């Protein structure tokens, strides 16, 4: 119905409780985690099939009920961008799920945990597959609901509950804003299909309403994408959630919102491009400064990483704001690199926290000497995200700056470069605290991380180095995604062909 | 027949009331009510637009999205109330300002 990978995700997600029940009856504790990881492997295989089909046809259109063809009915439109992002979700989901098997073993409610985890992956995949606002909203809400529940998963403690409630209130207000903007678009044109909207919005809309709707769209998606005035939920939610969930949220979910926002801006609001391009660039700079300056002040490991996510969102948005093929390539490449690096860092942080029961950097001093392998992987991730040459972060961040220069946004490029220099300060502070200082009493109590936690980190650290040494094919894939996003005519054609 | 503009003005007013409620209220239950007002503003706008698309015909697209969205709003509210119950067990209060150990 919704293409094989998404169908498989939804069906396997609903089947998780049955697996959990059998595991409970038989007394096995780890079956659900293994099941969820196996599911994601299957989904990755199905996604590869879809990729081949997309590579052959360009854009695929999936229609639900034949008499209600788009633009009347709901549809999915899948192009290279959707497949690229979906691959990222499934791969990062696979690593975090495999990590969770050991990490979450002492928690109760594991069946719900893995159901929600698969639901989160399904929701994000649906958001990038959607061909109209209706489908997008349904999957958007699936993504939001599962992430609220996952942030507040350890409900016995005060922090996840409080952070979860704050996140829920802000994010639900954002969803309502998106819904209101959808209703205005619907009122102006009578359709919610992206392609049909792109076609008819330019003639139908009065200038005033168009800009009001544009503002509502940017605010609504911006709350989820952690653009700076709307970012306040992110540091709390990311530091209160269990570490694999933090990795999922900051590695891919925030980027999903940015991706959906830019797709909508490019497709639907193409006529107002000068207005939103400048807005996006200004917001991007605010986001970088907000994230980097706040990260300098943090003494909480996961909170620091969360603020660094906000800063990296700024870089990605700046790449998008150039609206050139090169800039979009840089942004997608950075989304991929950031997902890998940030997942690695959060997984390492999770291993530290699991042993020491604290996130305070003052107590975690010198823990890298007690847990050498985890410390080494953490250092690789930190150097990569600080954009040092042999690793992957360097290429994408340099590409973003170069894209700004090419698009004649020199001032913004300079500010981005200044921000990257600023961020090196706190990344090096992290390395110094974790690796070089004398172990404190708390960190001396830690023992080496178990192998099942180390394997996902090892693979991610290897990917960091591999992409850094050999970036060609990965830039090629990002370039294809950028091409698909900019090729608006093919996207509109797919709907017209379907009629 | 009441002109469409009145409905839209009402929806925008509801949206602003909801935002005001979220910004100013201290009771957690009232925050959830504020969320509901926000979502219902969007619903009203959808229903009004679908009824006024053409004379004598109501567009089903607006209605179907509102029905779906009512379901989601129910889920969000249920989840929010669950969190409120846990927060109440921890803090013995529903006042948001009392549970600001995190900076809001």
Report the CATH number at residue B28: 1.10.287.3510
Contact A186 B90 (CB under 8 A): no
Contact A145 B42 (CB under 8 A): no
**Token pair belonging to A11:** 């069906």
Contact A165 B87 (CB under 8 A): yes
Which percentage of chain A shows pLDDT scores above 70?
97
**Residue A395 C-alpha from the chain's centroid:** 19
Residue A60 is predicted with a pLDDT of 80
Rounded to whole angstroms, the Cα distance separating A60 from A149 reads 33
A198: number of Cβ within 10 Å: 22
Q: Is the pLDDT of residue B101 over 80?
A: no
Q: How many domains does chain B have?
A: 1
Model-level pTM? 0.94
Contact A186 B49 (CB under 8 A): yes
Interface confidence (ipTM) of the complex: 0.94
CB A404 within 8 A of CB A416: yes
CA B66-B68-B70 angle, to 5 degrees, is 65
User: Quick check: bond before B93 cis, omega within 30?
Assistant: no
CB A360 within 8 A of CB A304: no
Buried b (16+ CB within 10 A) or exposed e, A451-488: eebbebbbbbbebbeebbeebeebbebbbbbbbbbbbb
Residue tagged 């979906």 (tokens): A86
pLDDT (tens digit, 9 = 90+) per residue, A213-246? Answer: 999 999 999 999 989 888 889 999 998 999 999 9
CA distance B38 to chain A (A): 6
**Residues within 8 A of A (CB atoms), B 11-30 only:** 11, 15, 18-19, 22, 28
Return phi, psi of residue A29, to 5°.
-100, -20
Domain that holds residue B78: 4-99
Rounded to whole angstroms, the Cα distance separating A333 from A331 reads 5
Mean pLDDT of chain B: 88
Q: Which residues contact B72 (CB under 8 A, 6 or more apart)?
A: A138, A141, A145, A175
CA of A470: how far to CAs of A335, A400, A465, in Å?
A: 17, 18, 8
Rounded to whole angstroms, the Cα distance separating B75 from A293 reads 37
Contact B99 A183 (CB under 8 A): no
Estimate the share of chain A in helix, then strand, then coil, as percent rounded to the nearest 5.
80, 5, 15
Q: Is B33 on the interface with A (CB under 8 A)?
A: no
Rounded to whole angstroms, the Cα distance separating B76 from B32 reads 9
Contact list, B48 vs chain A (CB under 8 Å): 187
Q: Is A168 on the interface with B (CB under 8 A)?
A: yes
Residue B104 is predicted with a pLDDT of 43
Rounded to whole angstroms, the Cα distance separating A54 from A77 reads 10
pLDDT (tens digit, 9 = 90+) per residue, A331-384? Answer: 999 999 999 999 999 999 999 998 888 888 888 888 888 888 999 999 999 999
CB A122 within 8 A of CB A144: no
DSSP label at residue A193: B
Contact list, B75 vs chain A (CB under 8 Å): 141, 145
Contact A186 B50 (CB under 8 A): yes
Q: Is B57 on the interface with A (CB under 8 A)?
A: no
Contact B101 A187 (CB under 8 A): no
Contact list, A141 vs chain B (CB under 8 Å): 72, 75-76
Return phi, psi of residue A393, to 5°.
-60, -35
**Token pair belonging to B23:** 């910004």
Contact A180 B99 (CB under 8 A): no
Mean of the pLDDT values across residues B13-40? 93
pLDDT (tens digit, 9 = 90+) per residue, A83-133? Answer: 999 999 999 999 999 999 998 888 888 899 999 999 999 999 999 998 889
**Residue A63 bridge partners (DSSP):** A75
Residue tagged 């972060």 (tokens): A393
Return phi, psi of residue A321, to 5°.
-70, -20
Contact B65 A192 (CB under 8 A): yes
Residue tagged 């089909």 (tokens): A53
Pick from A70, A127, A69, A120: nearest CA to A96:
A120
SS3 of chain B: the string is: CCCHHHHHHHHHHHHHHHHHHHHHCCEHHHHHHHHHHHHHHHHHHHHHHHHCCECCECCHHHHHHHHHHHHHHHHHHHHHHHHHHHHHHHHCCCEHHHHCCCCC
Return phi, psi of residue A298, to 5°.
-80, 145
Q: Is the pLDDT of residue B37 over 90?
A: yes
Nearest to B83 among A164, A180, A187 (CB): A164
Q: Which residues contact A460 (CB under 8 A, 6 or more apart)?
A: A95, A340, A343, A344, A347, A377, A381
Contact B39 A145 (CB under 8 A): no
Nearest to B101 among A158, A182, A186 (CB): A158
CB A183 within 8 A of CB B45: yes
CA distance B22 to chain A (A): 8
Which percentage of chain B shows pLDDT scores above 70?
94
Nearest to B46 among A159, A175, A186 (CB): A186
Contact B49 A236 (CB under 8 A): no
Q: Which residues contact A322 (CB under 8 A, 6 or more apart)?
A: A281, A328, A403, A404, A406, A407, A409
Nearest to A161 among B35, B65, B87 (CB): B87
Computed over its alpha carbons, how large is the radius of gyration of chain B? 17
Rounded to whole angstroms, the Cα distance separating A44 from A426 reads 36
Contact B101 A159 (CB under 8 A): yes
Give domain limits for chain A.
4-498
Rounded to whole angstroms, the Cα distance separating A254 from A339 reads 10
Residue A448 is predicted with a pLDDT of 83
DSSP label at residue A299: -
Pick from A233, A51, A257: nearest CA to A139:
A257
Q: pLDDT tens for chain A, 499 residues: list them.
A: 778 888 899 999 999 999 989 888 888 878 888 999 999 999 999 999 999 988 888 788 777 666 666 667 788 889 899 999 999 999 999 999 999 999 888 888 889 999 999 999 999 999 999 888 999 999 999 999 999 999 999 888 888 998 999 999 999 999 999 999 999 999 888 888 888 888 777 666 677 888 899 999 999 999 999 898 888 899 999 989 999 999 999 989 999 999 999 999 998 888 888 888 999 999 999 999 999 999 998 888 999 999 999 999 999 999 999 989 999 999 999 999 999 999 999 999 999 998 888 888 888 888 888 888 999 999 999 999 998 888 888 999 999 999 999 988 899 999 999 999 999 999 999 999 888 888 888 888 888 888 889 999 999 999 999 999 988 899 999 999 998 888 888 888 887 765 5
CB A340 within 8 A of CB A255: no
Beta strand A75-78 with A60-63 is antiparallel
CA distance A105 to chain B (A): 23
Pick from B40, B74, B15: nearest CA to A212:
B15
Rounded to whole angstroms, the Cα distance separating A76 from A214 reads 23
The answer to whether position B14 is within a domain reads yes
CB A425 within 8 A of CB A297: no
Residue B39 is predicted with a pLDDT of 94
Contact list, B28 vs chain A (CB under 8 Å): 165
CA distance B97 to chain A (A): 11
The answer to whether position B104 is within a domain reads no
Residue A67 is predicted with a pLDDT of 67
CA A39-A40-A43 angle, to 5 degrees, is 90
Which percentage of chain A shows pLDDT scores above 90?
54
């Amino acid at each position: 119905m919704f293409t094989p990978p998404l169908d498989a995700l939804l069906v396997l997600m609903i089947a998780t409780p049955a697996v959990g029940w059998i595991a409970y009856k038989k007394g096995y504790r780890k079956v659900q985690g293994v099941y969820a990881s196996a599911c994601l492997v299957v989904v990755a295989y199905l996604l590869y099939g879809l990729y081949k089909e997309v590579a052959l046809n360009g854009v695929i259109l999936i229609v639900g009920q034949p008499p209600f063809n788009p633009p009347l009915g709901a549809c999915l439109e899948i192009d290279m961008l959707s497949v690229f992002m979906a691959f990222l979700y499934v791969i990062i989901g696979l690593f975090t799920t495999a990590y969770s098997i050991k990490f979450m073993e002492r928690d109760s409610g594991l069946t719900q945990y893995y159901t929600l985890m698969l639901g989160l992956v399904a929701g994000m995949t649906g958001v990038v597959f959607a061909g109209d606002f209706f489908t997008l909203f349904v999957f958007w809400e699936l993504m939001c609901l599962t992430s609220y529940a996952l942030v507040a998963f350890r409900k016995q403690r005060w922090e996840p509950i409080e952070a979860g409630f704050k996140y829920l209130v802000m994010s639900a207000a954002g969803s309502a804003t998106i819904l209101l903007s959808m209703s205005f678009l619907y009122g102006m044109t009578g359709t919610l299909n992206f392609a049909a909207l792109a076609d008819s919005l330019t003639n139908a809309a009065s200038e005033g309403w168009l800009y009001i709707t544009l503002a509502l769209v940017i605010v609504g998606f911006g709350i989820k994408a952690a653009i700076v005035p709307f970012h306040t939920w992110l540091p709390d939610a990311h530091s209160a959630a269990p570490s694999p969930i933090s990795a999922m949220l900051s590695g891919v979910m925030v980027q999903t919102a940015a991706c959906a926002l830019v797709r909508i801006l490019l497709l639907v609001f193409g006529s107002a491009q000068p207005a939103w391009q400048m807005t996006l660039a200004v917001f991007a700079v605010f986001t970088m400064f907000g994230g980097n300056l706040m990260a300098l002040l943090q003494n909480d490991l996961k909170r620091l990483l969360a603020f660094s996510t906000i800063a990296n969102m700024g870089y990605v948005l700046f790449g998008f704001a150039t609206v050139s093929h090169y800039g979009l390539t840089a942004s997608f490449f950075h989304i991929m690199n950031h997902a890998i690096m940030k997942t690695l860092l959060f997984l390492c942080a999770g291993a530290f926290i699991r042993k020491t029961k604290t996130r305070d950097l003052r107590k975690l001093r010198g823990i890298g000497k007690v847990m050498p392998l985890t410390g080494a992987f953490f250092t690789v991730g930190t150097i990569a995200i600080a954009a040092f040459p042999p690793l992957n972060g360097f290429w994408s961040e340099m590409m973003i700056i170069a894209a700004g220069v090419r698009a004649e946004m020199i001032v913004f490029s300079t500010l981005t470069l200044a921000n990257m220099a600023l961020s090196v300060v706190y990344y090096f502070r992290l390395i110094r605290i974790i690796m070089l200082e004398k172990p404190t009493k708390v960190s001396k109590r830690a023992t080496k991380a178990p192998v099942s936690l180390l394997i996902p980190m090892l693979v991610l650290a290897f990917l960091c180095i591999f992409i850094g040494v050999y970036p060609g094919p990965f830039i090629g894939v990002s370039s294809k995604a950028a091409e698909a996003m900019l090729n608006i005519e093919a996207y509109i054609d797919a709907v017209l062909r379907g009629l | 027949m009441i002109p469409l503009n009145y409905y839209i003005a009402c929806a925008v007013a509801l949206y602003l009331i909801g935002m005001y409620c979220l910004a100013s209220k201290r009771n957690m239950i009232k925050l959830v009510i504020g969320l509901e007002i926000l979502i219902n503003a969007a619903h009203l706008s959808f229903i009004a637009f679908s009824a006024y698309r053409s004379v004598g015909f109501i567009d089903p697209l607006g209605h179907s999205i509102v029905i779906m969205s009512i379901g989601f709003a129910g889920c969000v509210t249920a989840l929010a109330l669950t969190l409120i119950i846990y927060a109440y067990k921890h803090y013995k209060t529903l006042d948001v300002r009392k549970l600001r150990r995190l900076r809001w």
